[in-house]
Amino acid sequence: MVAGLANFAASKGADAARLLVGAGIDGALLDDPDNRVSASAYAALMRAAQRACADPGLALHYGEAVDMSDVSIVGLIMNASENMGEAFLQLNRFGRLALETENASADPRFALIERDGSLWLVDNRIDPNAFPEITETAFARLTCGPRNFLARPHVLEVHVTHPAPSYRADYDRVFSAPVKFDAEWNALRLAPNLPAWPISHARRYVFGVLLDRAEDLLQQLDSSKSFTNQIETLLLPLLHTGEVSANAVAAKLGFSRQTLFRRLRAEETSYENVLDALRHRMAELYLRSGKASVNETAYLVGFSDPASFSRAFKRWTGKTPSEVRGRGRS
């Protein structure tokens, strides 16, 4: 995904090596497509590429032009699936191999649901407007890629939660379907019987080989996660509720409070430090995106009192929330 974005920006005239350095990404990492970089570094690369290419819609155009099978084993598996229903199943199963966002939901990212007689593919990513480029790239790929082997339109309507951008006309061209901005969800309305539509883009033997490799990669990814990472994954969807006590998290893990503390001590940290660092990281993400106000950010990271949030943010960064938000918007 990272190499694909850098190469796409280069095709538009940008200096890929300079973009990678600016985003804090070691270019040597891209020699192995199974290496990983942080989601924040990917976001920094996207923003730098948008500026270098003078194209605020670069994420949408990247998803339109570069098929998922060109940048990830997930796309290869989807194209080798028997039908579109199986392809969506594999997308949920292995999607983390391509992109695992810092504010991802603990639930499957995508869901196929029926509403009012229509079939929708819903993206359940938490706080998608903090980085809507992920939505743009994903929806463009899910629309444009299957056009190569489907005989008729499969995406009938597009809903996105972010406002209409300056390149609004490109949405009409890319999706060739009605687009609703400022919607209640990020979702694609699909042809009613799309899951049964055949793909047969590759032989089933290839599908089995790819599946085995993806399972190995998924096991490696899960085994590489520290206990601290597991705690953060549990905390993310709970931050805004305020229900983030050590007892509550330990209960979700099936541990005692003492076991939770002991395992974190083994990683030379504490529950309070993990929670504090997560709130700090997410607060900066929300504020720099310019999509959430200071009061909204305070709520999203679990502060009922904006003044307490401001004091904590000043302790974390040496700046006020308003200063950081203003800089992010500019």
Q: Are strands 186-190 and 155-159 parallel, antiparallel or unpaired?
A: antiparallel
Residue matched to tokens 């809903």? 159
Per residue in 90-137, pLDDT tens?
998 888 888 876 545 445 788 899 998 999 999 988 889 989 999 999
User: What 3-state DSSP class applies to 189?
Assistant: strand
Residue 176 pLDDT > 90, yes or no? Answer: yes
pLDDT of 282 strictly over 90: no
> Above 70 in pLDDT, residue 29?
yes
- Label residue 54 left, alpha or beta by phi (over 0 means left) and psi (-120 to 50 means alpha): left
Q: In this model, does residue 141 exceed pLDDT 90?
A: yes
C-alpha distance from residue 3 to each of 20, 67, 146, 296 (Å) = 9, 13, 22, 34
For the beta sheet containing 179-180, the strands, ordered from the edge strand earlier in sequence to the opposite edge, are 110-115, 118-123, 186-190, 155-159, 179-180
The number of residues making up the chain comes to 330
Q: What is the pLDDT of residues 255-268, one digit of tens each?
A: 889 999 998 998 88
Q: What are phi and psi of 167, to 5 degrees?
A: -100, 35
On average, the pLDDT of the chain sits at: 88
DSSP string, 19-62: HHHHTT--GGGGGSTT----HHHHHHHHHHHHHHTT-TTHHHHH
Percent of the chain residues topping a pLDDT of 90: 54
Q: Is the pLDDT of residue 183 over 50?
A: yes
